[in-house]
Structure 1
Amino acid sequence: MVFVPAARPPQHYERVQEWTLESAADVSRVRTEIADCAAGTGDWDPDVPEVLDRLVLVCSELASNALIHARPPVCVGLETSPSRFLVDVSDDVLSTSPVLEHRPDDGDGGLGLTLTSALASSSGWYVSGGRKHVWATFIKRAAVPVGTVPQGDAGGR
């Protein structure tokens, strides 16, 4: 069993939008709306559309995980900094820690956090205000290699 790193996300993000999800039906709506909100910021590289594809997939996986393993409401937030997007998904079940599953052959799902780890430039989780938050960041521009943290974009929240 591999646990997701317990860490707060980098600082200096501005909230773009927040959604409250009550059921799995809300995940589809949020997928569309988060893509539109991120694209609407205008400060990402349109020549690298996979940035938004990755953000939407990870948001969908994290929100679905929270709805399956916790109880509604699940909150999803989109934040932005000059070089990155941040997706934050929270629920109120504090008794479990996020775990990376590696079950490629069983077809029963359970790979949401593994996908997050593979597709995001950084990720982690923390508890605040009675909620467990799982977060992931995405580099906006192809010129910034995955795994690097631009000056002023690191640190705890």
Structure 2
Amino acid sequence: MQLEIRPDPAEVGRARRWARSRLAGAGIQADEPLAETLVLLVSELVTNAVVHTGRPAVLRLSLPGVPAEVTTVRLEVADASTRAPVPRCVGDEATSGRGLALVDSLADRWGWSPEGAGKHIWCELDRRTPPVDVEETATPAAYEGPAHREPAYGETAYEKPAYEVV
């Protein structure tokens, strides 16, 4: 599934609505942590494409077809810029520059690669459901949220998220 994005900031809201409708069609409820996180990631990556390139982009979603213990949702944004995405460390007063830190902290995996005359940035979220034989003492929180991973060589590591929810 894909959505063509015009180089207009209003497209970010349209991309979020489109992603929500695709998730609902795949049986992922709007109030599930996976859905809320994915919509936030759509917002960040589409905003980056629109703001930093000023060119059209393409949003792609790959959703699981059959529920399983772990399923992966993949989000990609392709744009016509060859500039590599670079996570930035910004001060407390900065009004932008935290998007890739947010992606890094919320996604299970993310990266980018050249694509034709541009690039695509992707991220993946794993949807975890408890195994059938889990004891009742296990909490659902044990199965939600991104898995911790060590940063690759040369990759920026973020000790804590670079954002605050108010």
TM class by shorter chain equals: 0.7 to 0.9
What SS class does the counterpart of residue 140 from structure 1 fall into? strand
Whether the 8 Å CA contact 2:15–2:46 is kept in 1: the answer is no
The reply on whether 1:25 has 2:10 as its aligned counterpart is yes
The two structures have a TM-score, normalised by structure 2, of 0.70
Paired with 2:23 and 2:118, the residues of 1 have a C-alpha distance of: 24
Alpha-carbon shift at residue 47 of structure 1 (Å):
9.8
Within the alignment, does 1:117 sit opposite 2:108 as a pair? Answer: no
Q: Does 1:134 align with 2:121?
A: yes
Structure 2 portions without partners, runs of 5+: 131-142, 149-166
Asked whether 1:100 is paired with 2:83, we answer: no
Question: Following superposition, which runs of at least 4 residues in structure 1 exceed 4 angstroms of deviation?
Answer: none
Structure 2 equivalent of residue 7 of structure 1: none
**What percent of counterpart residues are identical?**
28
- Residues 104 and 32 of structure 1, relative CA distance in 2, 3 Å threshold: farther
**What is the TM-score normalised by the length of structure 1?**
0.74
More strand by share: 1
Distance 1:133 1:52, change over 3 A: same
Paired with 1:98 and 1:35, the residues of 2 have a C-alpha distance of 25
CA-based RMSD of the aligned residues comes to 2.2
Match of 2:160 in 1: none
Q: Bigger radius of gyration, 1 or 2?
A: 2
